[in-house]
Amino acid sequence: MRILYLVLLFSLAIGNAAAQLSPNSTLEQLLRQAFHANLNAERVVLNHIGVEAVEVSNVYLGTAVLENYPAHAVDIRRGDIIEMADGNPFHPIESFNSERDTNGNFLPKREEHILVLSRANDSMELSVIPVFENLYNSYRSATANSVLQFSAGNKTIGYIRFWALSRATADIINYRALLRELSGTDGIIFDFRNSLGFLDPQHLDLVFPTRDNYFTSSLENNSYTQFAENSTASETSPYRKPIAVLLTRDTRGGTELFAYQLKKLQRVITLGEATRGEIGEYLFEDLSNGEEFYIDGQPFRDSAIIPEQLIPFPYENTERGDKKFYAAINAPVSYKHLTLPTKAYV
């Protein structure tokens, strides 16, 4: 039986990091490049402030902000419109990376930049100093930085934002450590918003007591493969309490598959917006043109994970607070299964 691994389809070749830069490179491309690279030296290092943004009418709309990174430190928020940097139109890469070495690599520039942004029709100026780091390391750090524990009524709730999933052994060990920090909570919020990456069975081992029900995967006209067979089962004690999962249309790849598998648990509730079913960007290594990707016998391409609680919250909404986060805290799953017998946690 051939073992099929989920890999990130990315147009940039792996090799010298500088060779993978182009004048039109986007943060999304560099993020994918960073998670696809096998070695740290292959990852593009750049000056950045830890904000995800999409271009809208020649300005950039903030869609997510990495915890404890420069944008977060100066209170740049999701929904902010970033218009100018140092008197020029803002660009998430070019505004902070004006110099390169003779090999084409970005040079570190730890200097202050003045950003002009608007929030709910109010204009403001902010001063920010970028970090010089590859996005793989930044997203790993932001995941660790996101971990919280807080009280909700008479319960203790944990929170972790999985900015991106990695199959690297060191990262899986780190995920286990993060879950151990939250092992004493009464429930956890898994935040998969704007998330991507590679899924490994050992990620699922963090919350599933056995691998008996892990999804099967196959290509059109081929026999199926048990996803559980892609790596050795980890010796870890799984988290057995309620989990609320936050989703958006920008949940894709490994975290979309993670959410799909989590929905099989009675103690899990999903909230937010439907995903886009874009597992097509996380294809099998030997996928040929026209072949369909199946999960549990059903085509996954162009299908979406529909949350049990739909909570629209478009990026343009600058309303104070986080509607999805507050809904997750108050989700019935955070409380209703706590008195069920242990078998409800499988």
Residue-wise pLDDT for 292-322, tens only, equals 778 888 877 656 789 999 888 777 765 656 7
According to CATH, the topology of domain 6-135 is: Pdz3 Domain (2.30.42)
Inter-residue contact 151 to 78 (CB < 8 Å): no
pTM confidence score: 0.86
Q: Which two tokens stand for residue 25?
A: 């490179």
Q: Which two tokens stand for residue 146?
A: 């996101």
CA distance 272 to 249: 9
Class of residue 86 by CB neighbours under 10 A (exposed 0-12, middle 13-18, buried 19+)? middle
CA distance 307 to 331: 12
Inter-residue contact 8 to 198 (CB < 8 Å): yes
Domain coordinates of the chain in residue numbers? 6-135, 146-345
Alpha helices (runs of H) in 95-199, residue ranges in sequence order: 135-145, 169-181
CA 242 to chain centre: 21
Per-run averaged pLDDT (10 residues), the chain, 346 residues:
33 44 75 87 95 92 95 95 97 94 92 95 95 96 95 91 90 91 94 90 92 83 70 81 92 89 93 80 47 78 81 72 78 46 34
- CATH 3.90.226.10 for the 146-345 domain, yes or no: yes
pLDDT in the model for residue 331:
74
pLDDT in the model for residue 224:
66
CA distance 272 to 218: 28
pLDDT in the model for residue 133:
97
Q: Which two tokens stand for residue 345?
A: 């946690």
Contacts of 193 (CB under 8 A, 6+ apart): 64, 161, 246, 247, 248, 250, 251, 272, 324
Contacts of 168 (CB under 8 A, 6+ apart): none
Eight-class DSSP state of 89: E
Each residue of 240-269: pLDDT tens digit? 999 999 999 889 888 999 999 999 999 999
Answer yes or no: same fold for 6-135 and 146-345: no
